[in-house]
């Protein structure tokens, strides 16, 4: 499913956004729910965001769970992570967010995997923000390939956006679940491309 960006038809016509999913301390090495390679992925994403790119919009999502709550059972399934106001909920320091145009928070009191379940600081849904900006395509990267990246890519595809997963800019929990997630994203029409 790998193609280079130059070989994708319609790339020039598409108004594209970069969606950086959940690159947070708790999901990187040393966090409460770490994914191996998370910090390296964060650094690679920063290099992309800080380079000359053609993205009309750069969006970053974060899990933002409520303290003193099971978050509707989410913390029964997973260790407590990305709790509002804690260092674990902050972006990983390897991710330079100065080039991020829109920040989305998700999981406030409820389980939420997809960035499309989140809202901006002023309460707008991600899909509404993308539509307001005329975005027709998204490149997805971040953590974890087999959970929140997968859910975000599938929701983007379901919303009618052209979706590409950026090769080398995502990290997953386990090889078997990553393989399954990649297959599910392929089946939904998502392509994996070199950034």
Mean pLDDT of the 170-183 span: 96
Catalytic residue among 82, 148, 155, 190: 148
- Tens-place pLDDT, residues 15-31: 999 999 999 999 999 99
Identify the pLDDT of residue 169: 98
Query: Does 190 participate in catalysis according to the annotation?
Result: no
Annotated catalytic residue within 106, 139, 146, 190: 106
Identify whether 148 is a catalytic site residue.
yes
pLDDT at 77: 62
Could you tell me if 92 and 143 are in contact, meaning their C-beta atoms sit under 8 angstroms apart? no
Q: Which residues contact 11 (CB under 8 A, 6 or more apart)?
A: 5
Give the number of other CB atoms < 10 A from CB of residue 14. 18
As a whole number of angstroms, the distance between CA 36 and CA 29 comes to 6
Model confidence at 96, pLDDT cuts 50, 70, 90, reads very high
1 neighbors 182 (Cβ within 8 angstroms): yes
pLDDT, tens digit, 9 for 90 and up, residues 141-175? 999 999 999 999 999 999 999 999 999 999 999 99
- Say whether pLDDT at 12 is over 70: no
Q: Kindly tell me the burial class for residue 8, based on how many C-beta atoms sit within 10 Å of its own C-beta (0-12, 13-18, 19 or more).
A: middle
36-86 confidence digits (pLDDT tens):
999 999 999 999 999 999 999 999 999 987 776 554 444 456 567 688 899
Q: pTM for the complete prediction?
A: 0.88
Cβ atoms of 195 and 48 within 8 Å: the answer is yes
Known active-site residue 106: yes
The answer to whether 5 and 192 have CB atoms below 8 angstroms apart is no
Domains in the chain, CATH or no CATH each: 2-194 (3.40.50.850)
């Amino acid at each position: 499913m790998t193609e280079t960006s130059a070989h994708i038809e319609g790339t020039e016509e598409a108004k594209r956004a970069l969606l950086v999913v959940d690159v947070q301390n708790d999901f990187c090495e040393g966090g409460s729910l770490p994914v191996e390679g998370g910090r390296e992925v964060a650094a690679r994403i920063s290099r992309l965001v800080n380079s000359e790119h053609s993205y009309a919009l750069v969006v970053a999502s974060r899990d933002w769970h409520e303290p003193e709550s099971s978050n509707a059972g989410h913390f029964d399934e997973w260790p407590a992570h990305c709790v509002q106001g804690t260092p674990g909920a902050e972006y990983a320091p390897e991710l330079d967010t100065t080039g991020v145009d829109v920040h989305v928070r998700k999981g406030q009191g409820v389980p939420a995997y997809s960035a499309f379940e989140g809202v901006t600081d002023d309460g707008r849904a991600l899909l509404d923000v993308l539509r307001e900006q005329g975005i027709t395509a998204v490149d997805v990267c971040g953590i974890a390939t087999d959970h929140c990246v997968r859910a975000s890519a599938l929701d983007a595809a379901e919303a009618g956006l052209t979706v590409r997963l950026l090769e080398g800019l995502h990290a997953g929990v386990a090889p078997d679940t990553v393989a399954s997630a990649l297959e599910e994203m392929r089946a939904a029409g998502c392509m994996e491309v070199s950034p």
